[in-house]
A and B are shown apart, each in its own frame.
Chain A
Amino acid sequence: MRVLHRPLLLALTALTLSTAAFAGEIRIGLTEALTGPASQYGVPIRNGFLLAQEEINAKGGIDGNRIVLLEEDERGKKEEAINVYKKLIFQDKALMIFGPTLSNSMFAAGPIANMAHVVAFGTSNTASGITDIGPYIFRSSPMEADVVPVTLKAAIQHLGLHKVGIIYGNDDAFTKSGYDVFRQALQAQHIDVVDTETYSKGDVDFKAQLTKIKAQSPDAIVCPCLSEEGANILIQARALGIKVPFIGGNGFNTPKLLENARTAAEGTIVGSPWFDGNPSPANQHFIAAYRKKYGADPNQFSAQGYDALFIVAEAIKKIHLTGQTERDRQALRDALPSVQFAGATGHFAFRPAPQHGGKAGGYDADQTPFVYIVKNGKFALLK
């Protein structure tokens, strides 16, 4: 037996080393920020993926092949994202890569995958320009530029807005890009901006800026901020006697904001690709399964991670895996754009990124966002 086994084992090892998607395993890279400040987004994303992996494999995988997620911690840093991308592409021969968590990191690591002709699939990158990197870049997260106009339109209808004040962090790619999107959308919908104020990362006191905004008496305050600063801003605004509602970007889209700002968040309006109250069976199943596995409530980021693996699984079902890394990678890339899927985040499809100067782009998410308002300490759908 032993004698017989050894060559077989060696042959198998050699096979799995040289071919990624063969011998019953589909090896997919998963790079998220599992430690560091961005881990508050990265960890829920990872949890969503692991849940989806468990469910797919429990049902016999894809055509009998198990999905194996090669988890890497990119710590929310560009350099680290580049390192793990190189490892997954050239060493581990992953079929494709999910992540990284932050837009900044995707800008850095995405080009490597694009050059190596490997699909890089972001589930949490919302900055404009991500898919300009090239035709191998996909994302399932709607851009802020898609979500914000919808949010704003609903807010205008609900509040009867005429003039707003803005406060945002100008030293962070995410909040800065959120600001640019808001400013354009405000202009397009003819809303006056009476005052624009900025702050820096790490600030805790925003009273000077808020006092200035208050003096202009706007109808609402637009805050494309992360939830950490957002909660502080809300609390201090209320302490200064500012009563108007806030309109937030993607960063406000977390239960953490309500937990920290409590009553100060009342009336805040925010757009999101996921709604926990969405009664669709796929969503309700996801929420129940997530709670059971992790003992905690899922958020938008875990829902997007969960859906993303199913989206890719749909594409893999359509192709025939040969075990030759390069061929399989290309086949997946070609099958992915036409995938349509109804998951926890609702109906999903890809949309080719607008081309710039004849250079082929990647694929953005084509999804209608939900708009929430904070009511009695909870996110409720704004109708």
Chain B
Amino acid sequence: MSATNPLAPTCVVAAYSADVYGRAAIEYAEAVARASGARLVIVNATRGDSLVDARFAHDVDIEALRERLVGEGLAVEVRHDVVPDVAEAVVAAAEEVDADLVVVGVRRRTPVGKLLMGSVAQRVILDAHCPVIAVKPAS
């Protein structure tokens, strides 16, 4: 882990899912990138084992998002892939681009919900090699 200024990261990874939580993560990461001039890497991945994955963004939407951010003058890279494990893909991407910040969207979970369902955000937080910011959508 490099000792960069925590308030001025050079590369931010945003874990994106096509829902309010993913959008909250993008919004925050976008704000950080804009303020610090950091590079922004957006990861939107799916295990691809179901026919339809609502959290996997449509091609046109991801392209629109990329164009909007590029239009704002940000250095953006988008990873839109089918991977064996989504959390691992986010962590691996962060390591690969040498990110100094990862942003994930988290949802409120009941204790039982936590028990039953593994959370991608939780695994990113635990496994990432750099600081992770967990954001919640404005309710």
Question: Is this pair of chains taken from one and the same complex?
Answer: no
Binding site for B on A (CB under 8 A): none
